[in-house]
């Protein structure tokens, strides 16, 4: 049932999990939809760290999108098991020692999947040519009741409805609101080590196919194994908003990266140096921003946003899950014939989305604070228990 989308062309900007999920859900209802993605093709970019899907959001959406069997074929059993480790590589808490009978259908079960396989699974579920690659958004203008979109490759298209799923640096959001995100006080430095078994053997053994969490009151280190034999890590630390530009460090230069890491972690065991000895460069540098918790805007009749485009926030483990839940609720509103028009459907979606995002952002900011404070280890152990 197409509802208010009967005979309408929908354009989704951004081919991440939120955009692809929305396209899948709309196609199940028979809606005409295209996804415009800036990547040159589906294989051009290595996807980031693993993520877990949650019962009330990501897994719920997998069911609604008729993709649960595909998810079960691609998720990584055991990859959700973590170890809390101190800076000297001593294990403080080990989930590998705990018996777990949780499985699909249990509210606490949070199965892990690599981002690459998740993206491929979503892409494979779409009709041929749904995704238009090499389509980096440049601008758009309203012509009558439609939007005319222009991309950096020179191509143009028109759509009745545009949905921004283009991440924290969304180019669609300014067409809806002038509200700017604020800096959270934390910057993340992220890297990937291929073939970790030989490139970082001690860390690989410590990982045991799962995750590592390390806190020292100022910094937080997260390491996760991936199904391709590599490991991803990110360092989260309190820095000035413009630290990346002002640091003078070239994060594409191996010598400078190693010097920075050795100084930043001078009080930690040298085993952690394995992370940068064979890391792929450049490292990813990601200052973390958050939208004001009270943000709101006047609904546009044929334009909206979802996921990080609508509510960027520091990582809390909910990012992809929130984007997928946004996609589900937006698809349901847009295809519900009970709404008198598209603007009313979008307004209903945005109201509940903004409330949910504000609650999660509040939790995320609180988590960011305690993760970089004394007592973080004790609090995490309490959470695990």
CATH of the domain at 274: 3.30.9.30
pLDDT of residue 184: 95
Domain stops at, among 289, 323, 341: 289
110 marked as part of a ligand binding site: no
In degrees and rounded to multiples of 5, residue 239 shows phi and psi of: -140, 160
Tell how far CA 56 is from the center of its chain.
17
Q: Are residues 239 and 297 in the same domain?
A: no
45 marked as part of a ligand binding site: yes
128: in domain: yes
pLDDT of residue 46: 65
Q: Rounded distance, CA 167 to CA 54, Å? A: 20
pLDDT block averages, 10 residues each, the chain of length 385: 89 97 98 97 78 92 96 92 94 86 83 93 97 98 97 98 96 97 95 96 96 90 94 95 95 96 94 95 94 95 97 85 97 96 97 96 92 86 83
383 Cβ contact partners less than 8 Å away, ≥ 6 residues apart: none
178 Cβ contact partners less than 8 Å away, ≥ 6 residues apart: none
pLDDT tens per residue, range 281-307: 999 999 999 999 999 999 999 999 999
Domain stops at, among 271, 289, 307: 289
Q: Are residues 170 and 225 in the same domain?
A: no
Collapse the DSSP code of 65 into the 3-class scheme (helix H, G, I; strand E, B; otherwise coil) and give the result: coil
Q: Are residues 256 and 218 in the same domain?
A: yes
Domain stops at, among 264, 289, 314: 289
Count the Cβ atoms, other than its own, within 10 Å of residue 162.
25
326: in domain: yes
Q: Are residues 58 and 147 in the same domain?
A: yes
Q: Rounded distance, CA 136 to CA 84, Å? A: 40
Q: Are residues 268 and 346 in the same domain?
A: no
Q: Are residues 58 and 199 in the same domain?
A: no
Q: Rounded distance, CA 86 to CA 218, Å? A: 13
Q: Are residues 311 and 279 in the same domain?
A: no
196: in domain: yes
Residues 277/299, Cβ–Cβ less than 8 Å: no
95: in domain: no
52 marked as part of a ligand binding site: yes
Whether omega before 282 lies within 30 degrees of 0, making that bond cis, reads yes
pLDDT of residue 312: 94
pLDDT of residue 377: 86
Q: Are residues 24 and 42 in the same domain?
A: yes
98: in domain: no
CATH of the domain at 128: 3.50.50.60
Domain count along the chain:
2
Q: Are residues 316 and 354 in the same domain?
A: yes
Q: Are residues 21 and 142 in the same domain?
A: yes
C-beta contacts of 179-182 below 8 A and 24+ residues apart: 179/291, 179/292, 179/295, 179/297, 181/289, 181/290, 181/291, 181/292, 181/312, 182/289, 182/290, 182/291, 182/292
pLDDT of residue 3: 84
Q: Are residues 50 and 191 in the same domain?
A: no
pLDDT of residue 383: 83
47: in domain: yes
Spatial CA neighbour of 179 closest among 343, 286, 290: 290
- The boundaries of the domain holding residue 199 are 183-289
Q: Are residues 250 and 188 in the same domain?
A: yes
Task: Kindly provide the b/e burial profile for residues 10-29, where b requires at least 16 CB atoms within 10 angstroms of the residue's own CB.
Answer: bbbbbbbbbbbbbbbbbbee
311: in domain: yes
89: in domain: no
Residues 349/328, Cβ–Cβ less than 8 Å: no
Q: Rounded distance, CA 150 to CA 291, Å? A: 27
24 marked as part of a ligand binding site: no
């Amino acid at each position: 049932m197409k509802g208010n989308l009967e005979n309408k062309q929908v354009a989704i900007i951004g081919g991440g999990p939120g955009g692809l999920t929305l396209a899948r859900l709309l196609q199940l209802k028979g809606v005409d939809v295209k996804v415009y993605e800036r990547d040159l093709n589906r294989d051009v970019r290595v996807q980031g760290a693993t993520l877990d899907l949650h019962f009330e959001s990501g897994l719920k959406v997998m069911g609604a999108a008729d993709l649960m069997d595909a998810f079960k074929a691609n998720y990584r059993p055991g990859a959700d098991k973590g170890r809390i480790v101190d800076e000297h590589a001593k294990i403080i808490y080990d989930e590998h020692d705990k018996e777990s009978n949780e499985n699909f259908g249990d509210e606490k079960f949070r199965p892990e999947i690599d981002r690459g396989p998740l993206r491929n699974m979503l892409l494979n579920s779409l009709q041929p040519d749904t995704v238009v690659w090499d389509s980096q958004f440049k601008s758009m203008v309203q012509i009558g009741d439609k939007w005319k979109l222009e991309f950096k490759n020179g191509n143009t298209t028109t759509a009745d409805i545009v949905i921004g799923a283009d991440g924290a640096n969304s180019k669609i959001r300014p067409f809806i609101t002038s509200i700017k995100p604020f800096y959270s006080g934390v910057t993340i430095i992220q890297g990937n080590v291929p073939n970790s078994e030989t490139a970082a053997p001690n860390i690989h053994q410590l990982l045991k196919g799962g995750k590592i969490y390390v806190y020292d009151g100022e910094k937080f280190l997260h390491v996760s194994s991936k199904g391709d034999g590599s490991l991803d890590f990110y360092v989260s630390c309190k820095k000035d908003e413009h630290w990346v530009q002002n640091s003078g460090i070239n994060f594409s230069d191996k010598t400078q990266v190693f010097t920075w890491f050795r100084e930043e972690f001078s009080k930690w065991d040298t085993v952690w140096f394995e992370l940068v000895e064979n890391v792929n460069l450049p490292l990813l540098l990601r200052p973390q921003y958050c939208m004001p918790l009270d943000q709101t805007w006047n609904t546009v009749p044929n334009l909206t946003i979802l996921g990080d485009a609508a509510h960027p926030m520091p990582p809390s483990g909910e990012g992809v899950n929130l984007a997928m839940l946004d996609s589900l609720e937006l698809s349901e509103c847009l295809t519900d014939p009970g709404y008198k028009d598209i603007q009313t459907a979008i307004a209903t979606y945005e109201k509940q989305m903004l409330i949910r995002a504000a609650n999660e952002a509040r939790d995320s900011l609180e988590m960011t604070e305690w993760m970089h404070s004394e007592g973080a280890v004790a609090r995490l152990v309490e959470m695990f228990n």
